[in-house]
Structure 1
Amino acid sequence: MNKLFAVLAPLFVASTVMAAPEAEAAAEAAVAAGPMVPGLAAGLAVLGAGLGIGRIGGTACEATARQPEVKGQIFTNMLLTAALIEGVAFAAVILVG
């Protein structure tokens, strides 16, 4: 194990030294994009929730078409699942914002 470390340590040090200017440029870009990041994160959270709830609704419609006698149970499960997804989306927007 020590031999492996002795071989890999110089490679790691050399790669970090060579990447220093790129890391500095990336840090400056992250600071410049700082105000946009929370908005993008909130948008992605809402987008994911919307897609998930849409899929739940579509699947519930298909299930009701196949078995109309259990439409009450399907609707209840759909509503509960959609509410849980919406709760996670609200939490993400509140935590990000």
Structure 2
Amino acid sequence: MPQFFILMVNIEKELIPAGTIAVHRGASIEATDGHIGRVEEFLIDPEQHLTHLVLQEGHLWHKKELTLPMSAIARMDKDYIYLNLDKETVKSLPSTPN
């Protein structure tokens, strides 16, 4: 019978290269005219490059997930992503299939 082991490792420090920033799920996304949503997922191309963020927009009864291209990002800091798009433009972006 095969044996399985569980290995738990405490991570004390993230290894983020100098000059880069770590993007995490739940980061707030701000359009040029205010808050638009939070990062839900990431889309990666076959070469392992981040191409899009998946943004959850809306409220409890009317949520939709939009794909946000990396070119729409004006700047980022630890907990916020600032876009170079307004809310109306973001809402017109393609949604993810359900």
Q: Does the pair score TM above 0.5?
A: no
Normalising by structure 2, we get a TM-score of 0.17
Larger Rg: 1
Q: Which gives a bigger RCO, structure 1 or 2 (Cα 8 Å, sep 6+)?
A: 1
Q: Which has the higher helix share?
A: 1
The normalised TM-score by structure 1 is 0.17
